[in-house]
Amino acid sequence: MAFTIYSDINGLSWVDKSKLENIEVIYQMFYNLFNTSKGERVDLPEFGASPDSWVFELIDEVTALTIYQNVITETERWIPMAYIDIQNSEVNPNEDENGYEVNLAVGVKGLEDNQFSKFDFIGEFTA
């Protein structure tokens, strides 16, 4: 039986404003968090993972760890209904692409018994 715990309007499309549910909502929240810089939102100036703050940093393991810790902190703060599976998540420097690869295994609280309670969020921070 399908049930809805989380719902929102599709904000990732200018055309399709359909209703999103459960995992889709959480994915959209991660997308918004990683594509927003602090100070960019008028009503919530502290919202965002500020990917642009690492543009001029060295591409190394130390900065990758800093990004990883920031992702976990910002997720706990802004997306409390999700959790990051630390054993299966990582941020790796990618010198060839001049950025970082972000691989997150994300679980959704309240959907643990559902087969669709987890998803992988894969993205990049590049200059």
Tokens at residue 127, please?
């200059």
Judge whether 29 and 35 are in contact, CB under 8 Å. Answer: no
The DSSP line for 29-71 is: HHHHHHT--TT-SSS-TT-S--GGGGTTS--SHHHHHHHHHHH
The whole-number pLDDT of residue 26 equals 79
pTM for the predicted model, two decimal places: 0.74
The whole-number pLDDT of residue 65 equals 92
Given a cut of 50, the residues of the chain with pLDDT beneath it are 1, 14, 115-116
Q: Domain 7-126 class?
A: alpha beta
The whole-number pLDDT of residue 48 equals 87
Query: In sequence order, which residues have a C-beta less than 8 Å from that of residue 44 and are 6 or more positions away?
Result: none
Question: Which of 6, 3, 1, 31 is CA-nearest to residue 109?
Answer: 6
| CA–CA gap between residue 19 and residue 68 (Å, rounded) | 31
The whole-number pLDDT of residue 73 equals 92
